[in-house]
Amino acid sequence: MNEHDWLVERFETDRPRLRAVAYRMLGSLPEADDAVQEAWIRLSRADVDAVENLSGWLTTIVARVSLNMLKSRRSRREDLVDAPENSGAHASEVSADPEQEAVLADSVGLALLVVLDTLTPAERLAFVLHDMFAVPYEEIAPIVDRTPTAARQLASRARRRVQQAGAGGQAAEAAARGAAEDAVDPAQQAADRAEIVRAFLAASREGEFEALLTVLDPDIVLRTDSSAIKMADAAEWNTAPEVHGADAVTRAFLNRTWSPVPAVIEGAPGLVWNYRGQPRVVFRFTFDGDLITAIDVQADLTGLDIDLT
């Protein structure tokens, strides 16, 4: 068997799984076949000897192609389940079996596809790869250009949507399995939330509107005590005792020339603004899962346990 024939045979071994990944990402059998076909084209041009895990490499390629296809979709309504048809197969492929295509569509279910279609492309990819195909977050992270912790947050948000929608079947099983795998001890949870706080600070400083929105709950509330309001007024930073909603809170923090530092406040990750080496204002965060649901800005630090180490 020559190298090309071996490559074809090796690819055909992975084809069913790759097609399943692409279909759950795209909700369209023809598009799934296009993504798998693109993976074959890239494989045929690659230096296979340099690839340690060929199955993982192919999964990454199909995921990247599917992600790009999702991002490129316009506002037109996409059919969640298309009529079976043979599309874009390479020369070695035998025509697809319509019965097998029907089985693939039934195995996913329209309810799940409807829910998946409400997710952002990155959330959909993280949920599909991790919860449905057990791909580690370390491998998902570079595909969505995030850290592993951020990739886990994407999957977590998607999982909540799936569970709230009650899609049932495979979706419920995958979400339950993913939630069980993601269960963390308190130390790990604190570390994850500290990273979210750092991501919030970085996005605020750099004026990254979309990045800020990804860590804020849509119904977040920003509360500022009277002492902090007086300090804000003196700095000509207009603020209100309460601000509601992710958009409004994002605008309140966007592009601010402020320099708080990460700290542990009352045992939880937060931010502290120091003046002449002394804490003057703290930013305390409340979380629900991986989203910030409230931020309390306090200049009255009486009795607060603040650890700057």
CATH of residue 211's domain is 3.10.450.50
Q: Are residues 18 and 136 in the same domain?
A: yes
Going by the DSSP 8-state scheme, the letter that residue 302 receives in this structure is T
Q: Are residues 131 and 8 in the same domain?
A: yes
Report how far residue 7's alpha carbon sits from residue 24's, in angstroms, rounded to the nearest whole number: 25
pLDDT at 176: 57
Q: Are residues 164 and 117 in the same domain?
A: yes
pLDDT at 167: 55
Query: Which of 144, 164, 185 is the C-terminal boundary of a domain?
Result: 185
- Would you say 159 and 179 are in contact if contact means Cβ atoms under 8 Å apart? yes
pLDDT of the chain along its 309 residues, tens only? 677 888 899 999 999 999 999 998 998 888 999 999 999 999 988 888 888 899 999 999 999 999 999 888 744 444 444 444 443 333 333 344 555 555 555 555 666 777 788 888 988 999 999 988 889 999 999 998 888 878 888 888 888 888 777 655 555 566 555 655 565 567 777 888 898 899 899 888 888 888 888 888 888 999 999 998 888 766 556 678 899 999 999 988 886 766 889 999 998 999 999 888 889 999 999 998 778 999 999 999 998 999 986
pLDDT at 117: 84
- Would you say 172 and 137 are in contact if contact means Cβ atoms under 8 Å apart? no
Of 127, 214, 135, nearest in space to 162 by CA: 127
Report how far residue 69's alpha carbon sits from residue 121's, in angstroms, rounded to the nearest whole number: 9
Which residues have CB under 8 Å from 295's CB, separation 6+?
220, 221, 222, 223, 249, 283, 284, 285, 286
Strand order in the sheet with 291-298: 242-244, 216-224, 291-298, 278-288, 268-275, 261-265, 306-307
pLDDT at 293: 92
Looking at the DSSP bridge assignments, the partners of residue 274 are: 279
Amino acid identity of residue 10, one-letter, is: R
pLDDT at 92: 33
Q: Are residues 130 and 241 in the same domain?
A: no
DSSP structure string for 142-202: HHHTS-HHHHHHHHHHHHHHHHHHT--HHHHHHHHHHHHHT---HHHHHHHHHHHHHHHHH
- Would you say 204 and 257 are in contact if contact means Cβ atoms under 8 Å apart? no
Q: Are residues 157 and 192 in the same domain?
A: no
Query: Which of 185, 203, 232 is the C-terminal boundary of a domain?
Result: 185
**Cβ neighbours around 13 below 10 Å, total:** 11
Report how far residue 83's alpha carbon sits from residue 309's, in angstroms, rounded to the nearest whole number: 60
Tally of domains in the chain: 2
Q: Are residues 222 and 150 in the same domain?
A: no
Work out the angle at residue 101's Cα, subtended by the Cα atoms of residues 95 and 104, and round it to the nearest 5 degrees. Answer: 140
Query: Which of 164, 185, 206 is the C-terminal boundary of a domain?
Result: 185
Q: Are residues 264 and 131 in the same domain?
A: no
Report how far residue 154's alpha carbon sits from residue 58's, in angstroms, rounded to the nearest whole number: 22
Q: Are residues 171 and 302 in the same domain?
A: no
The radius of gyration of the chain's CA atoms, rounded to the nearest angstrom, is 24
Q: Are residues 177 and 191 in the same domain?
A: no
DSSP structure string for 227-261: HHHHHHHHTT----SEEESHHHHHHHHTT-----E
Q: Are residues 145 and 289 in the same domain?
A: no
| 181: exposed, middle or buried (Cβ count in 10 Å: 0-12, 13-18, 19+) | middle
Amino acid identity of residue 9, one-letter, is: E
Q: In which domain, by residue range, is 289 found?
A: 187-307
Q: Are residues 299 and 244 in the same domain?
A: yes
Q: Are residues 261 and 231 in the same domain?
A: yes
Which residues have CB under 8 Å from 13's CB, separation 6+?
none
